Structure 1
Amino acid sequence: MKLLPVLTVSLCSLLLFTGCKDEETLKKSDHDPSKPILLKSFFPLEGGARTKILLDGENFGSDPSKIKVYFNNALASVVSSSGERIYAIVPRLPGEDPKISVVIGQDSMVYENSFVYHTQAQVSTVTGNGKKNFKPGVLSEAEVYGKYLELDAEGNIFMSWRDGGSPATFGVARINEKENIVTPLIEAESSTRILYANGLTVDRATGMLTAAHESTKEVIFTFDPREAWYPRQRNVKYSTADLNSIVDADRYKNFVTFCPYDGHLYTRYRDGKIAKINPETMEAKIVHQGPYGSQYGQAINPKKPWLLYITLHSNASPTEFRQGISVLDLRDPNGSGGFKRMNAPGGSGFRDGPIADALFNYPKDIKFDNDGNMFVADYGNHCIRMVSADNIVTTVAGQPGTSGYKDGGPVESMFNQPWGVAVNEQGDIYIADWSNARIRKLVIE
C-alpha cells in the first residue's frame, strides 16, 4: 500500500488524453460469448479510491449490468460501456499492486500491468481532551476514557469504559457526531458497578447492542434502540454440565459477538471455552474448547461470517497463541481446522507484509469493514494496522514504536496505546486512543 498523494483526473481530461470519440460512433453491441474478451490498455495508470478509469479492449458488450470489473478482489463500479471501452470507478482499498480483471458471464481476463493504487488517510479527533475520566456533554467538552468501541448502521458509536475518574466509574456510552453528544447508557462507581463491560457488539439489522458482564458466567446486557437503549440484564441459560464445566477461576468473558451467519451470539471464557447463545431465548451451549488466556479482541468477518477472529494476551497457553490473531471456523468448530493462529509466532514486535510473517505488539481490539479488511488496534506499537482481504498487513496510521498525540496524515499522526476500534458502513475507522483519553477517527481510501 503506497501512502502517496492521489492522482486526480477528470473524465473530460481522460477522454481528451485518449482521444475523444463522437457519441454517435459508440455503437451498441452485445458481448459475444463465442469470442474471447480482448484487453488492450487502461488509463490512468495510477490513482486512488473513486478515480475514474477507462478500460480499452474488445467484446465487452454495451450493457454495464453484465460487466464486472475487479481490482484484485475489490469490485469496481461500472458506469458504462461502449463495447470497446468501459468507464469504471476505482474501488476503495483493493490491496497491494491491484490487478484489473474484467468478467462478463463465464469469460474473465486480467490486464497484464497492475494499477498503482495510492492510499489517502487522515486522522482527526472526535471527542475527549486527554483527561482520564468520563463526563457526558457536547463533543468539544466531553471527557472519555474508552477501551472498546462498536457502531450501528445509524452512525451511533458505543463505547465501554472502566477505571476512569475519581472515584472510578464503569459504563457504556453513546457518542453521536451528527447530534454532537456523548451520553451514558449505563454508569456506576466501581464499588457498585452493575455491568463490567469490555467488548461490545451490534446486530446492524436490528440495532441491538449487547455487552457481556465480564465476571459473571451467565449475565449479559442488551440495549434496544426501540427502548432508547435502556439497559436490560439477561441471563444465559446453560445446561448444568456446560455451566459447571466453565472453570470458576477463569470464568471471565470479555467479549460477545453477533454472528450474521447463524444469527447467534458468541462469547469466550478465559479458560478457552467458546459458547453459542440464542439471542432470543438466551439458550446456550459450549461449542469449542480452545487455548487458555485473557482476550483483547473478537470479531466476525462480514465477507466470511462463519469465521470468528480472536486476539489473545501474553498469558495464553499454549504459548504459540500469545499476542497473535487466531481464527475459528464456526461451521465446524471442532473440525480438523480447529483454532488457528494467523500471524507469525512471537510477539512484542513489528513487521508488515503477508500475515504469515507479520508481528504485532499486544494487539487489542479488531474489527472489519464491509469489504473484509480487518483493522487492528496495535496497542504496544502505538499504531493502527490493516489486514487486507487478501491477508497483507500494512500500517495505516500512527508511527510504529513511537507514542504521542497528533492528528493528520498517516505518516505524521500519532497514538498512545490505542485499545478499541470500530468501523462504520462507509469504512471510516473509529479508535479508542486509550492513553490519550480521546476518540479518534481515521478515514482511509
Structure 2
Amino acid sequence: MNTNTACELKWGMLCAALIFLLLGACSDKDAIDTRPSYDPSKPVTISRFAPDSGGVNTQMIIYGSNFGSDTSQIKVYINGHLARLIGVNGTALYVLVPSKAGTGEVKVVIGNPAKEVVAAGPFKYIFLPSVSTLAGFTDKDGRTAIVDGPIEKAQFEEPYWLCFDEKKNIYVLEEFRGMRFIDADKTQVSTRFRTGNGLDRPRTLSFNTTYDTLYITNDQGSWTGLSTAVATKADNFTRWTSLIYSLQTNGGAAQPQTGDYFYNSYSNGAIFKWDRVAKVSKELFRIGDVSWEFNIQFAPSGDFAYIVVVNQHYILKANFNRETRQLETPVHFVGGRRSAGYQDGVGIDARFDQPHQGAFDENDNFYVCDIFNHCIRKITPEGVVSTFAGRPRTYGYADGALRDAQFDRPMGIIYDKESGTFYVADQKNRRIRIISTE
C-alpha cells in the first residue's frame, strides 16, 4: 500500500468513526435511550488509538470497551494533559489532542470512584509552527462582504484590531464598518454594532479589569468630535455611549490591574489619562510633533506599555508608576524614527513600515503587525527585532510554515497563551488568520 493510500484510509476510518460517534450521541427526545452505559463492575479497556502521532487539535479515536456514553464521567489525558472530549459511544472515544502535550501515555479515567486505564504505547506529539486561516474568504475576483453566521460561511471586509474577553471570545474591529464577534468555540460570527452617529472610524479596543466595560477609540478627524466611546456587558456590547470628546484619538488602553485609562492625541502627539471621578483628561507628556498616529499597548504585567507610532515607524517604551498611577515619559525603544523600511536588528537599528497592533507572549516578547512589510515581527524585552511570520515586503495569501506564509497588510493580533495561538486580522486578505506556535 502506498503512502497516499494509507493516509486516505486512515483519515477515512477517522471520519467514519466520528460520524458513528456523533450519530450514536443523537436520539429523538421521545425515543428510548439505547446508548450504552458505563458498568462499574466491569473493567475498562483500551485496545488501540489512532493516529499515534500528531500536533495540537489532532483528531484522535480511542478504541476499547465499557466507556459508556456520559461524557461528564470521562476524562482523557495525553502525557498528563487533559484532552478535550468530543464524543463517546461505548467502545470509542473521540478527543482532540491538547496544546503542548508532549510525547507520553494515553490514559482514560472513568466513573466515581475512578477507574484508570492506560493504552499500550505512547502518543508522539509533533509540532510544526504554521499559519492557517480561521475565517473569511473572497470570491474569484477578490470580493467579499460583511456576512454573519457559521464561521465557515462568515466574511469580513476590513478586519483591523482584535481583542479577547475573559472567556476568549474575539472582538474584531472592521475599519469604518463596526465591530464583529467570534465566539470562544470559533463556530459563529456575528455583528455587535455598525458605525454611524458619530462613531465612524473605531480604531482600538481595550477592556477594563472586570471585562464589563469596553473602551472604543474613535478617530473622528476633528478636535471636537467623539474620541472614546464605551460599550458594556449589560448590553452585550451591542450599544455604545460617548465618554470623551476632542483630541482626535487613534489609540487608547486600560492598565490591566488598576483599570486606569490612557489615550492619545493625533493632533499634538500627546498622551492623556482619563480621570474617572472628575471626568476630565490630564495631559501627561508629548511624544512627537503634530499628526503623530500611535496607539498604547500594556504588557500583561502592567509594568510598562509600548507606544507604537504607526506613521513614524518606531516604538517607544513607557514604564507605569504604580504610586502615581501614571505612565512615565517614554524612551525610544526600537525602529528608526521617520525611517520606513525593513530590517531585523537591535533597537533603533531595526526598521518597520507602519507597525500597528502587537501581542505579548508569556515572556514579554512582543509580536507586532508590520503593515506594509506584510509580516509579523518579534521584539524581545531587550529590543532584539526579528521576523516571525510572513514574507517581508511580499504581500499575498498563503497558509503554511511561518516564513512561507503570506499576509496582505496584517493589522491586528492577539495571543492565547493556553493554546499557544496567535490570531491575526489580515486586512486586505479579508481574513482572520491563525499562527500556531506552542
Give secondary structure in 2 for the equivalent of 1:436.
Answer: coil
1:266 to 2:270 alignment? no
Distance in 2 between residues matched to 1:217 and 1:368, nearest whole Å: 32
**Aligned pairs (5 A) from 1:42-441:** 120-130=128-138, 131-144=143-156, 145-163=158-176, 170-176=177-183, 178=185, 180-188=187-195, 194-203=199-208, 205-215=210-220, 219-236=227-244, 251-270=247-266, 271-278=268-275, 282-292=279-289, 293-303=291-301, 305-314=302-311, 322-331=312-321, 338-345=329-336, 347-426=339-418, 427-441=420-434
Corresponding letter in the other structure for 1:209:
L
Distance in 1 between residues matched to 2:415 and 2:149, nearest whole Å: 23
How many percent identity over aligned positions?
22
Distance in 2 between residues matched to 1:441 and 1:388, nearest whole Å: 21
- Structure 1 residue 207 displacement after superposition: 4.7
Corresponding letter in the other structure for 1:160:
L
Distance in 2 between residues matched to 1:155 and 1:186, nearest whole Å: 19
8 Å CA contact 1:152–1:424 kept in 2: the answer is no
Residue equivalent to 2:48: none
8 Å CA contact 1:121–1:396 kept in 2: the answer is no
8 Å CA contact 2:217–2:249 kept in 1: the answer is yes
Distance 1:207 1:154, change over 3 A: farther
Calculate the TM-score normalised by the size of structure 1: 0.61
Give secondary structure in 2 for the equivalent of 1:185.
Answer: strand
Residue equivalent to 1:102: none
- Structure 1 residue 119 displacement after superposition: 8.9
- Structure 1 residue 148 displacement after superposition: 1.1
Deviations 1:62-119 (A, max 9, x none): xxxxxxxxxxxxxxxxxxxxxxxxxxxxx99xxxxxxxxxxxxxxxxxxxxxxxxx99
Distance in 1 between residues matched to 2:275 and 2:200, nearest whole Å: 21
Task: Compute the RMSD of aligned alpha carbons.
Answer: 3.2
Distance in 2 between residues matched to 1:336 and 1:443, nearest whole Å: 33
Corresponding letter in the other structure for 2:393:
G
- The structure 1 segments of at least 4 consecutive aligned residues displaced by more than 6 Å after TM superposition are none
Give secondary structure in 2 for the equivalent of 1:405.
Answer: coil
Residue equivalent to 1:443: 436
Distance in 2 between residues matched to 1:288 and 1:218, nearest whole Å: 21
Residue equivalent to 2:33: none
- Structure 1 residue 266 displacement after superposition: 0.7
Calculate the TM-score normalised by the size of structure 2: 0.62
Distance in 2 between residues matched to 1:336 and 1:370, nearest whole Å: 22
- Structure 1 residue 135 displacement after superposition: 2.0
- Structure 1 residue 268 displacement after superposition: 0.1
Distance in 2 between residues matched to 1:260 and 1:370, nearest whole Å: 15
Distance 1:290 1:311, change over 3 A: same
Distance 1:431 1:123, change over 3 A: same
- Number of equivalenced pairs: 305
- Structure 1 residue 413 displacement after superposition: 0.8
Distance in 2 between residues matched to 1:255 and 1:128, nearest whole Å: 26
Give secondary structure in 1 for the equivalent of 2:239.
Answer: strand
8 Å CA contact 1:273–1:288 kept in 2: the answer is yes
Distance 1:418 1:125, change over 3 A: same
Deviations 1:169-191 (A, max 9, x none): x21111125151111111146xx
8 Å CA contact 1:353–1:393 kept in 2: the answer is yes
Distance in 1 between residues matched to 2:240 and 2:166, nearest whole Å: 21
Corresponding letter in the other structure for 2:330:
F
Distance 1:409 1:198, change over 3 A: same
Corresponding letter in the other structure for 1:355:
G
Distance 1:186 1:371, change over 3 A: same
Q: What are structure 1's unaligned runs of at least 5 residues?
A: 1-48, 51-90, 93-117, 164-169, 238-245, 315-321
Distance in 1 between residues matched to 2:365 and 2:215, nearest whole Å: 23
8 Å CA contact 2:320–2:327 kept in 1: the answer is no
Tell me which of the two structures has the higher relative contact order, counting C-alpha pairs closer than 8 angstroms and 6 or more residues apart.
1
Distance in 1 between residues matched to 2:329 and 2:280, nearest whole Å: 24
Corresponding letter in the other structure for 2:214:
L
Distance in 2 between residues matched to 1:381 and 1:179, nearest whole Å: 28
Distance in 1 between residues matched to 2:198 and 2:381, nearest whole Å: 40
